[in-house]
Structure 1
Amino acid sequence: MVLNAVRGGLGFLTRLPVGGGEAEWDAFRRAPVVFPLVGYVVGGLAALPFLLPLPIPTAAALYLVTLYLVTGVTHADGLADLGDAAVVHGNAERRLSVLKDSQTGVGGLLALGVTLVVLAMGAFGLAGVGWRLGLPTGGFSFTTGRLGLTVGVVIALTAEVSAKTGMATLVCLGTPAHDGLGSALVGENAPSGLLAVAVVCLPVVALAPDTGLLAIVVTLLCGPVVALLVRAWGRNHLGGVSGDLIGATNELARATAIHVGVVTWTLS
């Protein structure tokens, strides 16, 4: 059952060729704990460029390319839809109709464009933090048999787990705005599911002795905080949570968490 849920989560949240079908999807949508588990996979893969001896701009660019090759554009599309709905004047029904519209307007382009720029600047920051954990340089040492992780790798991994935890928070605490993808996830979960989600986040905290507990904790908290803000907006303007809001939470939380993590580590 757990393996089916993980496979379903990877199939839904990434473009990794894991296969899966209706049984895996059903297992995943009832297991919010899978969200941060997938975050470890996505974050680990996307952070690989920060282990390589590359110029800062190249490492940042490769991070973005790897990230969207792994995850696809589904969540980014949700962010664009949210941007369009946010600038619409009217009631919840009018905003919901905009969310379902396949065309992207100025609000969507602005929301997506600004978030991508913020994310790119955050990736620059990740590539620029030169302090290394365990080794003088990042990568694997055949002499010591140890893997040296840069601060950028640790924060990138934590930020992705945080973003997926934000999605899980929205799924567990939200109410469906309408029938559809959002209701298939939100309608099957309860706040009690967040306990397992929190437990799954503990392994990333194990990196805190090297990176700093404060930097890890605040980076992890960004996802749930963003999710609560999106939930409040959805409740006030849409009557609940939709699938687009879940995807938008992922994009907004990741960009926020990266900047918060880099700033906190730099100042601590």
Structure 2
Amino acid sequence: MVLSALRGALGFLTRLPVQGTERSWEAFRRTPVAFVLAGYVVGGIAALPLALPLPLPTTAALYLGTLYLLTGVTHVDGLADTADASVVHDESTDRERRRSVLKDSETGVGGTLAVALVLAALALGTLGMAGAGPRVALSLAIAAEVGSKAGMATLVCLGDAAHEGLGSALTEHADATALVPVFLAGLPVVAFAAPLGTPAVVAAFLGGPCVALLVLRWARSTLGGVSGDVFGATNELGRVVGVHAGVVAWTLL
């Protein structure tokens, strides 16, 4: 069941040549912990450039390139659509207009700005990780990726869908009790880092779930619930916050 769910998660979250089936998709959407397990795979592969003895700007560029070659742009598109929806201002029809903006294929100013800021912030955070040395950089990058996926799983377990679609497909079978295995699955990240930089790795991991709680609160009040685009935005924002939280904690603690 778990292996099938992981196969479904990798098929959904990455561009890896995983042969997804209806069975693996069903297992994935009923198993929120599969998000976290997939985070180890994504984080481990994407972080490989951080172990290379290269100049810091080159390392950061390779990390970003590997990350988005691996994951594609689906979640970035969700970030752009969510940002466009967030800047809608019409008190009489806010919720309906925001939902229609989410479905609009064109990217507006809000989405363009959000994507640019997130990519710039991720690049700067990557420079901070790489400057801390290969072992620390690998630990923080993997922790941030696993944490961003734990954030998506948090939405699955605590969120309700705004409408029929991907959001409802992911949230209809989970509840808050499923968060227990989600966070237990994140413990190996901390164990790998100890005693090198446990506080920093914990901070990097918790960035994703913290972002998810904030996004969930916003989505409930403005959209009436979560959607596929909200999941994508949570993933991208959770990674960036996790990376910076880890770098800040490593620097100060």
TM-score for the superposition, normalised by structure 1: 0.91
Question: 2:83 maps to which residue?
Answer: 83
Which runs of at least 4 in structure 1 moved beyond 6 Å after TM superposition?
Answer: none
1:211–1:265 Cα contact (<8 Å) kept: no
Task: Kindly indicate whether residue 179 of structure 2 is the aligned counterpart of residue 176 of structure 1.
Answer: no
* Alpha-carbon separation, structure 1, partners of 2:202 and 2:241: 14
- SS of the counterpart of 1:210? coil
Task: Kindly indicate whether residue 162 of structure 2 is the aligned counterpart of residue 159 of structure 1.
Answer: no
Question: 1:45 maps to which residue?
Answer: 45
Structure having the larger proportion of residues in helix: 2
Task: Kindly indicate whether residue 181 of structure 2 is the aligned counterpart of residue 196 of structure 1.
Answer: yes
2:143–2:202 Cα contact (<8 Å) kept: no
Q: Which 10-residue stretch deviates more, 215-224 or 244-253?
A: 215-224
Q: Which has the larger radius of gyration?
A: 1
Question: 2:112 maps to which residue?
Answer: 109
Task: Kindly indicate whether residue 231 of structure 2 is the aligned counterpart of residue 246 of structure 1.
Answer: yes
User: Residue deviations 1:71-119, cap 9 Å, x none?
Assistant: 0001000000011001111321110000011110001001111111000
How far 1:4 sits from its partner (Å)?
1.1
- SS of the counterpart of 1:166? helix
- SS of the counterpart of 1:219? helix
TM-score for the superposition, normalised by structure 2: 0.97
* Alpha-carbon separation, structure 1, partners of 2:108 and 2:29: 30
2:139–2:193 Cα contact (<8 Å) kept: no
**Equivalences for 1:59-74 in 2 at 5 Å?**
59-74=59-74
How far 1:215 sits from its partner (Å)?
1.1
Question: 1:127 maps to which residue?
Answer: 130
User: Residue deviations 1:154-181, cap 9 Å, x none?
Assistant: 1000000000000000111001101001
Which ranges in structure 1 are unaligned for 5 or more consecutive residues? 131-148
User: Residue deviations 1:176-235, cap 9 Å, x none?
Assistant: 101001110012211111111011111111034233221122221111110000000000
Question: 1:98 maps to which residue?
Answer: 101
How far 1:21 sits from its partner (Å)?
1.8
User: Residue deviations 1:14-40, cap 9 Å, x none?
Assistant: 000011121111110010000110100
* Alpha-carbon separation, structure 1, partners of 2:147 and 2:14: 16
Question: 2:191 maps to which residue?
Answer: 206
1:154–1:211 Cα contact (<8 Å) kept: no
What percentage of residue pairs aligned between the two structures are identical? 62
2:136–2:197 Cα contact (<8 Å) kept: no
Question: 1:258 maps to which residue?
Answer: 243
- SS of the counterpart of 1:81? helix
* Alpha-carbon separation, structure 1, partners of 2:195 and 2:52: 20
